[in-house]
Structure 1
Amino acid sequence: MVAALAVVTACLLLFHRAVPNSVVRLGSLLESFLPWLGLAVVALLVPALLRRSATASAALLLPAAAWTYVFGGLLLPAAEPGPDHLVVVQHNVSDENADPAGTARALASAGPDLIALEELTPPALPLYERALAHGYPHHAVRGTVGLWSKRPLTGTRALDIKPRGITEDWNRALRTVVDAPRGRVAVYVVHLPSVRLGPGGLGSARRDESAGLLGSALAAEELGAVVLLGDLNGTVDDRGLAPLTTRMNVAERGFALSYPAAFPMARIDQVMARAATVGRIRTLPATGSDHLPVVARIAFGLPAGR
């Protein structure tokens, strides 16, 4: 039994795309927590040792090797970035955050060039603006998302990624251009629809639809260098974000589990790039949000594509 479960775990790690998504979006649900399958190796090791089973112990090498193959690279040291790079912070600040000014100061203390925020509310927005005004003289806000920058911003516009069926005002994406060290970079700040787990499975249809609209916008982007920052309500392994992950590079190092802040289980706050490399991504200390902020370095001058 232990050996059989070890083989199944290894297969799920290596062939998770084969798990169907047509029923209760089981595939996306598995992929949302895929790294946690590594705990199965630990759990199965106990009965294998108690039984003193050479077969079971040998079988456990399969999921251990599979996990290392899929995720081991995230644990390696990150290369030192060159001079042409941007440091970015991505944070869903929560529309229930009781300390917007303190949150803004905590994010700025990391010294990023760009700070992307989601779930901005009209009462809290002036507090963020005042707290970030000194270090970040350039900022743009559209709806509930915003970007603060040390460098000039131009051509800011709202981006329509609203799924069908939402009739109320819903503006959760913007596109702007940053004057970066290597030239102009298109920066997208987005907040994809929430995902809910219920009796019918993983409720991700609206998120997937919105990701598809965003993917089309990225494909049509004329600038070569692109940075995507946002709460995508999905992990980079989740096939629902394939319209984005097939067009953009994701972080090469670091897990940076960001949600929920009290006990992070998954990184749904993402930093992606085109014609650039996203180095190590890591979390910052908790703020007044139910998400943890994430920070990453982006190095430019590399070919587009994942």
Structure 2
Amino acid sequence: MVEQVRADSGATSTVEAAAPWGARRRAGRWAPGEDARGRSTWRRGRVLAALAVLTAGLLAFHRAVPNSVGRLGSLLEAFLPWLGLVVVVLLGVALLRRSATALVALLLPVAVWVYLFGGLFLSGAEPGAHDLVVVQHNVSDENTDPAGTARALADAEPDLIALEELVPPALLVYEKTLASDYPYHAVRGTVGLWSKHPLTDARLLDMKPPGIAEAWSRGLRTVVHTPHGEIAAYVAHLPSVRIRASGLASSWRDESAGLLGKAIAAEKLKAVILLGDLNSTVDDRGLAPLTSRMNVAERGFAFSFPAARPLARIDQVMARSATVDHIRALPATGSDHLPVAARITLG
């Protein structure tokens, strides 16, 4: 709104009176920091701020998400680290909108994510005298190059190599290729352990869910006689899970994890190492019978599946009365999983 005002000198000056917001918007003029609707940097972006708080809540209280419907809690926990990407997207939109409210709110999910996963980026402790290096790999029953896979695993120079989905005649190839460097091995069903140290008392581990009727042998327990003492080594391959329209189908895996957890709880040897394809991440409550009893990797993400574009680490190394210092993914083999290597400190 413009008024013509005549000054005492007779000159005419132009004064812009306070115009309503609608007039300023039509004229394309608003105060610095305001958007096209006249909102300041603190008034806009409230929806983004709410989404940031929701993301922080899911990260911090993921156990509160119920599993009763479609096992949504386990599904969220299987991909929990990827909520960090949601934070990145919200940050980009907040910067684009120049929303101070959203930027402040985003500090909350950033802090929670760093608390949960930031330590995994740190380097592990220096190798010590009581360390073991172990490799875990689901070699795939469709692997067309078992000899190349065996050589690739041996190149990491581990003390122990745990394999799943061992099928004839590929098993014979693994035995022959690894024999020179790993003179001790034990195989039960479709899982096996190769070792530089003597193995004794190898036996089949029964962890088959009651609902599986066909033959199913995916568990092994043996004793490894290391220079630092005896270790009970468990190799396991838990049932697969499926993502369906109804949610996550994981009941067999959860039942098998419970049976495996009971076996480890009853183990008389103090030091225990578990290696296997557990078909879930350590954040998933479905593995609580194991993660509540054993230490998991303190450093490293080591996403292992699928090999082409790894989204999660479902190949695990856990320990009791020992520390899994660092875990890393190894280069791809002929499997749909990546191998993982971990360093374990005994005691």
Quick check: TM above 0.5? yes
Match of residue 68 from structure 2? 22
Once the two structures are superposed, the pairs formed by residues 61-210 of structure 1 within 5 Å of their partners are 61-210=107-256
Q: For 1:47 and 1:112, how far apart are their aligned partners in 2?
A: 46
Q: For 2:152 and 2:93, how far apart are their aligned partners in 1?
A: 46
Once the two structures are superposed, the pairs formed by residues 30-41 of structure 1 within 5 Å of their partners are 30-41=76-87
Kindly provide the CA deviation profile for residues 9-45 of structure 1, in whole angstroms up to 9, marking residues without a partner as x: 0011110000000100000000000000000111011
Quote how far apart the aligned CAs of 1:143 are. Answer: 0.3
Q: For 1:208 and 1:106, how far apart are their aligned partners in 2?
A: 32
Structure with max Cα Rg: 2
**Cα RMSD for the two superposed structures:** 0.6
Q: Secondary structure at the match of 1:125?
A: helix
TM-score (norm 1): 0.98
Q: For 2:219 and 2:290, how far apart are their aligned partners in 1?
A: 14
Structure showing greater relative contact order (alpha-carbon pairs closer than 8 Å, 6 or more residues apart) = 1
Kindly provide the CA deviation profile for residues 61-94 of structure 1, in whole angstroms up to 9, marking residues without a partner as x: 1111110011111111211131011100000000
Q: For 1:8 and 1:165, how far apart are their aligned partners in 2?
A: 38
Match of residue 7 from structure 1? 53
Quote how far apart the aligned CAs of 1:148 are. Answer: 0.3
Amino acid at match of 1:70: L
Q: Secondary structure at the match of 2:153?
A: helix
Paired residue for 1:213, among 259, 265, 273? Answer: 259
Quote how far apart the aligned CAs of 1:187 are. Answer: 0.1
Q: For 1:169 and 1:106, how far apart are their aligned partners in 2?
A: 31
Amino acid at match of 2:221: R
Quote how far apart the aligned CAs of 1:180 are. Answer: 1.4
Q: For 1:46 and 1:284, how far apart are their aligned partners in 2?
A: 33
Amino acid at match of 2:55: T
| Partners of 1:85 and 1:181 within 8 A in 2 | no
Q: For 1:171 and 1:77, how far apart are their aligned partners in 2?
A: 37
Q: Secondary structure at the match of 1:155?
A: strand
Paired residue for 1:55, among 101, 105, 109? Answer: 101
Match of residue 280 from structure 1? 326
Q: For 1:76 and 1:179, how far apart are their aligned partners in 2?
A: 31
Q: For 1:181 and 1:63, how far apart are their aligned partners in 2?
A: 45
Unaligned stretches of 5+ residues in structure 2 = 1-46
Match of residue 26 from structure 2? none
Match of residue 241 from structure 1? 287
Kindly provide the CA deviation profile for residues 162-195 of structure 1, in whole angstroms up to 9, marking residues without a partner as x: 0012111100000000011221000000000000
Q: For 1:225 and 1:24, how far apart are their aligned partners in 2?
A: 36
Q: Secondary structure at the match of 1:171?
A: coil
Q: Percent identity?
A: 75
Match of residue 304 from structure 1? none
Q: For 1:250 and 1:144, how far apart are their aligned partners in 2?
A: 24
Q: For 2:157 and 2:93, how far apart are their aligned partners in 1?
A: 48
Q: Secondary structure at the match of 2:126?
A: coil
Unaligned stretches of 5+ residues in structure 1 = 302-306
Structure 1 stretches of at least 4 aligned residues deviating more than 3 Å after TM superposition = none
Kindly provide the CA deviation profile for residues 39-65 of structure 1, in whole angstroms up to 9, marking residues without a partner as x: 011101122111111101111111111
How many residues align structurally?
301
Q: Secondary structure at the match of 1:60?
A: helix
TM-score (norm 2): 0.86
